[in-house]
Chains A and B, each alone.
Chain A
């Protein structure tokens, strides 16, 4: 916002200075810029805070919404936990979280939850001589690599699954997110799903007690750790891996097929999901289907169901924004490697907004 209007402001400032700071020149300067002035005055602002994973797509949508909806989005990616805290305290119009809140907590905090986009987590490796998407890993191998049960890359089980590859004899060096994150939540959910031992051991959470490996901060930290350490394996969001051309792997899904992490396999997962669950917290981890990528997860928005009078406009504009974003923002999301919501799910989300009531108890229409 500020960036866009800064040149006129500078001009104004220069005019003012040149004319000796008198009031008339200031008014003339302002009159010469009617567009900037009125746009700023009329533009409604919605504030949101939370998950960092969907931040790029929310920012992109927010930029576009300025023109299309005359709406300014102020989204701060402070992490899912922070987003939940802030929306519970009602200091923002909406919160965003990667890990869905359980239905009981939604009721307790008077919140409505709906998904906006889906993302996927991919495995990245640093094995000299092994090309992008060449290495084939099964769920069991992934668990054992991150649990420290496989310590060298020439382990017979890895060689068995990759007969056509020449895998260097390197020690396995797992890298994980040191900062608590939704990505870790999704990845450890996958590990817990495919391995009973992992479920009862480290478990699934935004940060866990990893049995082996090194922690690095953020996707970029994990990517850097993997890049710098031959024999390293890590996990990042697909968007990050794609943009930075990291070496990803194939993964065997629940149906026993090896799949490559690409839009087709992510969308296959999205189409298999069951959204008729409380809080629309569909589970897209380790679904069946020949072409399904097994580590996909939606990210969610939290909206108060009982906004106070001051926040009714904010809630309405938040719904307007996401209504518009789901209708027209699919391509923008796909370009950023996110998976937009299927049509049927969008209708379901819009229907769920009826639960948001103003202080008089009437539904808020968008």
Chain B
């Protein structure tokens, strides 16, 4: 009898202490969760309110105007060039980066001998840790002259005469800093993210599926194409979208190599600019309350919106894996 009272009394006392701790912990966690929501909301709101004068002055045309005239008295700002520059460099970066990332992931999961997997995997992760300014410097001193001498000139000569698309490859830009150079730097920067995601999702394929396919006499490539890729397709796309999200917002590395020209480019070897680099270059010299500052904040809002759409899409595609 006495035994039972002791055993019931103790848990009650413990539960009291426990419930207070639980409540505190719950409140703290909930606070943290709500805090991040509020923070995000506050950032969006700040950008929107800051950009409102520009949206009001230029209307919806702000988005497709290519004007960028900070001259006092006749200010005229438009987002078309930076928005296009941002989208084109990011999409080209995906085009250049994804095949290589797929190769790395395929190699690491299917081809590489086990002793090599770890060093190569670590190298890929280290690539993700390189600061973006390093990529910018490397891009400017190594990649830009290379692109100029060995890619832009041969491509321009070989493909410049093609009808319709020839203009994409032909450029009068002789400095080497261009959309193409920026895309290559971005591709290298997002490579580790995409490769790591792909490797991780390839590893989630149940071995029994692959072994069944191998058992049926499939080659490695057939297993990849017929089993692994269909099984992981959506996650792979989600990983690519994450890379795209990073490419959209990259600032310093792009600024170094894109040529910072706020005018419409006709060729991928022309200089252009991105939202992030325009904001970084022009914000320090913009006066408080000026149309220019407001336009830069409006650009920031647009970038936020684009990134949000991309990330939301990637979340949506990854939803089955993230559950």
Contacts and interface: CB of A to CB of B under 8 A. Distances in A.
B281 A214 contact: no
Contact of B287 (A84, A178, A202): A84
B3 interface: no
B145 A228 contact: yes
B175 A175 contact: yes
Nearest to A173: B174
Contacts of A89: 288
B69 A208 contact: yes
A71 interface: no
Nearest to A98: B285
Interface string B279-295: 00110111110000000
A210 B261 contact: yes
A210 B177 CA distance: 15
Interface stretch (A75-83, A299-307, A353-361): A75-83
A179 interface: yes
Interface string B67-109: 1111110100000000000000000000000000000000000
A119 B117 CA distance: 59
Contact of A203 (B71, B172, B177): B71
A321 to B, nearest CB: 24
B89 to A, nearest CB: 15
A207 B285 contact: yes
A79 B271 CA distance: 25
A115 interface: no
A153 to B, nearest CB: 11
A79 B69 contact: no
Given A203-B69, A208-B69, A224-B140, A82 B177 contact: no
A205 interface: yes
Contacts of A181: 285
Q: Is the interface of B mostly helix, strand, loop or mixed?
A: loop
Interface size class of B (residues with CB under 8 A): 20 to 34
Given A180-B281, A205-B72, A81 B263 contact: no
B281 A231 contact: no
A198 B284 CA distance: 25
A229 B175 contact: yes
A126 B80 CA distance: 33
B58 to A, nearest CB: 15
**Residue of B71, B144, B256, B259 with highest tally of chain A CB at under 10 A:** B71
Contacts of A175: 175
B70 A215 contact: no
Interface in B137-184: 140, 144-145, 172-177
A227 to B, nearest CB: 11
Interface string A137-181: 000000000000001000000000000000000010101001111
B261 A207 contact: no
Given A179-B282, A180-B286, A171 B177 contact: no
A217 interface: yes
B175 A217 contact: no
Interface in A192-215: 202-215
A225 B260 CA distance: 12
A202 B177 CA distance: 22
A318 interface: no
Interface of B: 67-72, 74, 140, 144-145, 172-177, 255-256, 259-263, 271, 273, 277, 281-282, 284-288
Given A81-B286, A202-B69, 6 more contacts: A84-B288, A179-B285, A205-B69, A205-B70, A206-B70, A210-B261
20 contacts: A78-B284, A82-B285, A171-B174, A173-B173, A178-B255, A179-B282, A179-B284, A180-B284, A180-B285, A202-B69, A203-B71, A207-B285, A209-B263, A210-B261, A214-B177, A215-B259, A215-B260, A215-B273, A224-B140, A231-B174
